[in-house]
Amino acid sequence: MSSVRADADSHPAGSATTVGPMLTVNDLSVAYEMDRGAVAAVDRVSFELYPGEFLGIVGESGCGKSTLLFAIAQLLNPPAVVTGGNVVFKGVNMVGLTDKQLMAVRWRDLSVVMQSAMNALNPVKSIGAQLKDAMRAHGVTSADEIAKRSAEVLRMVSIDPVHLKSYPHQLSGGMRQRSMIAMALLFTPDLVIMDEPTSALDVVAQRSLMVQIKKLQAELGFAIIFVTHDMSLVSHFSERLMVMYAGQVAEWGATRQVFDNPRHPYSAGLLEAFPSIRGKRVPLTGIPGSPPDLSQPQQGCWFAPRCPKVMPVCTEVNPDLYSVQDVQVRCLLYGGPAGGTAPADAAAPAEEMSTGD
């Protein structure tokens, strides 16, 4: 269990392999029971993840990406509850497992890196003590084994093992975040789920951490689900990308495809909202309006009020996910009663978006 897994290799996205998907999320729905009624935070999300794959989930506040993550890791607490679908991890349906059964899976096969290390790390215990706690909680008792593995795992994330004695406040933000990742890798899990692990870091530390993560993935072969609001961050690192809006999957496919040719007006708008530091300085408009209030369900597409390409049918019909070449898009431009008015392979060129309002 403390040996480094050396045999798993990455499977390129979508390629037909003989190994089946490691994680299958089927029609997963999660709702929050609030005073004013149930709010659907995640609405029928489905995807598959293969061993060694890097999946990016992108969206803004309120899109449900964090809730989705918590649901997959079975960390939901009331008032959040799974209202539909299931999560099958290595053949076992995670929804409905008891705490004891989950403990067996957690950290050994699946681990989670939280958003803010300063909140997730115990400020009164040294890093070494926390690594020890994690190992003992999962059945490692030999002090030798613990010491060896602790040092090993810190070295993996380029932290000098002398810091086993350090307290979290003595480390920089980047180092704290990396020790969280080290903790997540203690048992070389097959899947590591990361919830915005770089948001508290500045741009240089962020870049450094991402590169480190990618290197570790290449070495150890684990799959990653990476949730972030910063699309440009995952663009270089993920194989597949899922854009979420209002609890639903808006667009989903190979990263390069989604970036080079965003089909959903929201994905396109999101990409456009990043000013570039190279090339011409152009005025941008972002996406007008704000994310919707999910407790006020509405007829038709959630994005319609803000969409530059809205059609009359958009406020009447709820779009499903439609396949466009290798990408899936939840937009009536590509399917549904309008019959998909946009040609399958030519999404609107990116420049057009900035003139709309």
Partner 1 sequence: MSMPISGVTSTVGQPGPDPGAGPAAGQARAGTQGLARIGRAVRRNRKAAVGAVLLGIFILVAIFPGVIAKDSPSLDNYKPRLGVSTAHLLGTTAYGQDMWAQLVWGTRNVLIIALVVGLAATAIAVLIGVAAAYLGGAADGSLSVLTDVLLVIPLFPLLIVIAGYAHGGGTLVLILVITLTGWSYTARQLRAQALSLRRRDFLEAARVRGERQIYIIVMEVIPTMTSLIVASFLTNALYAVLFASSLQFIGLGDPNTQSWGTMLYWAQNNAALQTGQPLWAIAPGACIATLGAAFALLNYAFDEIGNPALRPVRRTRVKRAG
Partner 2 sequence: MTDPAPEPLLRTEKLSRHFKIGGALSRRTLHAVDDATLAIRPREIVALAGESGSGKSTMARLLAKIYKPTSGEIYFGERPLSSIRSRKDLLRYRGEVPMVFQDPFASINPVFRASHGILRALTLHRPELSRAERHAEALRALSAVGLSPAADIMQRYPHELSGGQRQRIGFAQALSLRPKLILADEPVSMLDVSIRIGLLNLMANLRDQQGVSVLYITHDIASARYVADRLIVMYAGHIVETGPVEDVLASPRHPYTQLLISAVPDPRVELNISAETDKGEPPRVIDPTPGCRFRWRCPLAIDECEQVTPELRQLLPGHQAACHVAVASEPIRAFG
Which positions touch partner 2 (CB under 8 A)? 60-61, 158, 172-174, 201-209, 211, 214-215, 229-233, 235-236, 259, 269-271, 273-279, 281, 283-288, 290-291
- Judged by beta carbon distances under 5 to 8 A according to partner kind, the member of partner 1, partner 2, none in contact with residue 32 is partner 1
Q: What is the DSSP letter of 106?
A: B
- Judged by beta carbon distances under 5 to 8 A according to partner kind, the member of partner 1, partner 2, none in contact with residue 236 is partner 2
Report d(CA 337, CA 335) in Å as an integer.
7
214 near 132, Cβ under 8 Å? no
Note the residues at the interface with partner 1 (CB under 8 A): 29, 31-35, 38-39, 41, 61-62, 66-67, 70, 76-86, 95-96, 114-116, 119-120, 196, 199, 290-296
CB of 38 to partner 1, least distance (A): 5
CB of 80 to partner 2, least distance (A): 20
Report d(CA 287, CA 306) in Å as an integer.
7
- Judged by beta carbon distances under 5 to 8 A according to partner kind, the member of partner 1, partner 2, none in contact with residue 270 is partner 2
DSSP string over 306-352: G-TT--GGGGTS----EEETTEEE--GGGSTTTT--S-TT-PPPGGG
Bridge partners, 40 (sequence order): 31
CB of 167 to partner 2, least distance (A): 15
- Give the distance between the most distant pair of CA atoms in the chain: 68
- Judged by beta carbon distances under 5 to 8 A according to partner kind, the member of partner 1, partner 2, none in contact with residue 66 is partner 1
CB of 210 to partner 2, least distance (A): 8
CB of 230 to partner 2, least distance (A): 7
CB of 131 to partner 2, least distance (A): 21
Looking at beta carbons only, is 31 or 153 nearer to partner 1? Answer: 31
Report d(CA 73, CA 75) in Å as an integer.
5
Total residue length of the chain: 357
251 near 267, Cβ under 8 Å? yes
3-state secondary structure of 122: coil
Bridge partners, 33 (sequence order): 38
Report d(CA 340, CA 331) in Å as an integer.
9
Looking at beta carbons only, is 233 or 329 nearer to partner 2? Answer: 233
CB of 295 to partner 1, least distance (A): 7
- Judged by beta carbon distances under 5 to 8 A according to partner kind, the member of partner 2, partner 1, none in contact with residue 70 is partner 1
Looking at beta carbons only, is 154 or 180 nearer to partner 1? Answer: 180
Looking at beta carbons only, is 64 or 189 nearer to partner 2? Answer: 64
CA angle 36, 40, 41 (to 5 degrees): 115
Looking at beta carbons only, is 5 or 236 nearer to partner 2? Answer: 236
CA-closest candidate to residue 115, choices 19, 229, 15, 271: 229
- Judged by beta carbon distances under 5 to 8 A according to partner kind, the member of partner 1, partner 2, none in contact with residue 288 is partner 2
- Judged by beta carbon distances under 5 to 8 A according to partner kind, the member of partner 1, partner 2, none in contact with residue 285 is partner 2
Report d(CA 108, CA 110) in Å as an integer.
6
CB of 79 to partner 1, least distance (A): 7
Q: Which residue has the tokens 């290449």?
A: 218
For residue 119, give the H/E element and its range: helix 117-120
Looking at beta carbons only, is 208 or 298 nearer to partner 2? Answer: 208
